[in-house]
Amino acid sequence: MQSIKLFNKMTVIASMMIVPGLSLAGTYTEGKDVPADLRPFITANTKLLAFVSADLNGDDKADYVFILEKQKKNAADEDMEQGQRPLHIAIRQADGKLKLVKTNEKIVLCSTCGGMMGDPFADLTASKKSFTVSHYGGSAWRWANEYQFNYSRKDDTWQLVKVSESSFHTSDPEKAKEKNYTPPKHFGKIDIADFDPETFKGVGAK
């Protein structure tokens, strides 16, 4: 049942990504609808790729998880493959202001890392004490992944709780393959700031 659900989601993502410029993450238009308290975090030569407001640490205040995208200074500059899209977490303080508390520069794939499908970034979602980053890409072989993090009150941080990886060949999409990784079997405590999609297996204290 889980494989069917993820396959259906992958199919929806694929159909939506055929439309140029259409993103699943958020409904904001670049340059508009950016929350005023997020604007100070949009630094020079970056743009806001996606953001979600949610109570990320369970204190009943509206926080933000958001992704910036570093821009080329010159059109002739090489494409950025490492650290192009840092993910940030900003927490609402007692005085109502936001404080940047976590950053990860590896979780979100670069804009040219999706193969024939183009930009692989699919979605950023969040709910109370949890957020998920999703990708979709490939060519004849399509692939997708989801990384879910939940807030740990004990450790006062967001830790990896699930990784889902799926793939299928366009000639036989009903034979989608899926792998799910969860702690403590596949990894231990992994802080969002330390997460690397390439090396998470077997990492972290259990």
**Dist. CA 146–CA 83, nearest whole Å:** 19
What's the pLDDT score for residue 29? 45
Q: Which residue has the higher pLDDT, 20 or 95?
A: 95
- Comparing CA positions, the residue from 146, 152, 145, 95 lying closest to residue 125 is 146
Which region holds residue 161: left if phi is over 0, alpha if psi is between -120 and 50, else beta? alpha
pLDDT-based confidence at 26, cuts 50/70/90?
very low
d(CA 69, CA 140): 28
Q: Which of 182, 95, 184, 172 is nearest to 140 (CA)?
A: 172
Residue 122 in this model has a pLDDT that exceeds 70: yes
3-state secondary structure of 82: coil
Confidence of residue 101 (pLDDT cuts 50, 70, 90): very high
The position carrying tokens 């976590």 is 102
Model confidence band, residue 21 (pLDDT cutoffs 50, 70, 90): very low
Mean pLDDT (whole number) for 96-112:
96
Q: Mean pLDDT throughout 77-102? A: 92
Of 26-30, 128-132, 190-194, give the lowest mean pLDDT range.
26-30
- For a pLDDT cut of 90, what percent of the chain falls above it? 65
Nearest Cα residue to 69 out of 90, 89, 88 = 88
Q: What amino acid is encoded at 134 in this protein?
A: S
pLDDT of 2 higher than 80: no
Judged against a pLDDT cut of 90, whether residue 32 lies above it is answered with no
